[in-house]
Amino acid sequence: MSAALLNGKELAAKKREAMKKEVSALIEGGTTPGLAVILVGDNQASQTYVRSKQKSCEQIGIHSVLIKLPEETTEATLLTEIDRLNEDPTIDGILVQLPLPPQIQERAVIEKITPSKDVDGFHPINIGKMMTKDKTFLPCTPYGIVEMLKEADITIGGKHVVVIGRSNIVGKPVGQLLLNEDATVTYCHSRTNDLATFTKQADILIVAIGKAKFIKASDVKEGAVVIDVGMNREDGKLCGDVDFEEVKEVASHLTPVPGGVGPMTITMLLENTIQSAKDRT
């Protein structure tokens, strides 16, 4: 058996084509969506991601502003910068690239962003709204995963979803979003005993643990849908948390890395920014 690929790159391109038209119409009506990205320090991976976000904005006509701050920036300086952007009427979305240097508290920064411009969906108010299924900005990676499942006509309701990883940006919210879609959700993590017992029960397996090729064919039920959120660099090559060559023989659907979840993450960031511009009062 060979799994069907869940092609995130292709779906991202399709969605961005539609967004381009939407942005043109918004600009026509006098509203140019604007995204501000703040990058503190010169982490190599972060610079690459930020460049990719900017390029994507450009492609579809979103106005993007990059604010580069030095590694030694204090928390107070960053908070002041965020406040300025909170008040800036040309900015609909604010993204502070994570991780931050150790002298800056992530929590304080996320809470400083006004919830109506929190296009990452990381603010506790927006997390709360997601839990209660109120309208809000959904975190981009989980949102992108749900969009990919829907595009492939994969039923979520009633399915057993097993999530490996419990981060605030991927594991926890992706489980919550799929619960909102009536899945039965199990969370596993680094302290789970006998992990394979759980993974083998998954109809939909979401892997976000940050260990290259960690999930093998023997961990996966025949016909399962496998979503690989991993982004590991192995001698310059990008590689997921799933052993692709093995798992493609047992899964019914599988996301590649690169070209799977990653491009959808950025696409949903653009979507949230457009939504925010539409909500401008």
Binding residues: 165-167
| Site for ligand GUE contains 97 (CB under 6 A) | yes
| Site for ligand GUE contains 38 (CB under 6 A) | no
One of 92, 117, 118, 120 is an active-site residue; which one? 120
Query: How many other CB atoms sit within 10 Å of the CB of residue 23?
Result: 24
| Site for ligand GUE contains 258 (CB under 6 A) | yes
Give the H/E segment covering residue 237.
Answer: strand 237-239
Tell me the C-alpha distance between 202 and 115, whole Å. Answer: 34
**Residue among 272, 280, 256 at smallest CA distance from 29:** 280
Please give the biggest Cα pair distance in the chain.
57
| Site for ligand GUE contains 96 (CB under 6 A) | yes
Choose which of 36, 138, 266, 274 interacts with ligand GUE (CB under 6 A): 266
Q: Scan residues 16-35 and list those touching ligand GUE (CB under 6 A).
A: none
Residue 65 — φ and ψ, nearest 5°?
-125, 130
List, as residue ranges, the binding site for NADP(+). 165-167
β-strands 232-234, 237-239: how paired?
Answer: antiparallel
- Give me 254's structure tokens: 């599988």
Choose which of 64, 262, 267, 277 interacts with ligand GUE (CB under 6 A): 262
Which CB, 38 or 277, lies closer to ligand GUE?
38
235 is catalytic: no
Choose which of 33, 34, 49, 255 interacts with ligand GUE (CB under 6 A): 49
CB 154 within 8 A of CB 253: yes
| Site for ligand GUE contains 101 (CB under 6 A) | no
Which CB, 183 or 264, lies closer to ligand GUE?
264
| Site for ligand GUE contains 79 (CB under 6 A) | no
14 is catalytic: no
CB 170 within 8 A of CB 229: yes
- Nearest distance from C-beta of residue 203 to ligand GUE, angstroms: 24
- Nearest distance from C-beta of residue 53 to ligand GUE, angstroms: 8
CA 76 to chain centre: 27
| Site for ligand GUE contains 267 (CB under 6 A) | no
Tell me the C-alpha distance between 95 and 45, whole Å. Answer: 16
CA 241 to chain centre: 16
- Nearest distance from C-beta of residue 219 to ligand GUE, angstroms: 22
103 is catalytic: no
Q: Pseudo-torsion of CA 109, 112, 116, 119, nearest 10°? A: -10
Q: Please give the residue ranges that form the binding site for ligand GUE (CB under 6 A).
A: 48-49, 52, 95-98, 120, 140, 231, 238, 257-259, 262-263, 265-266
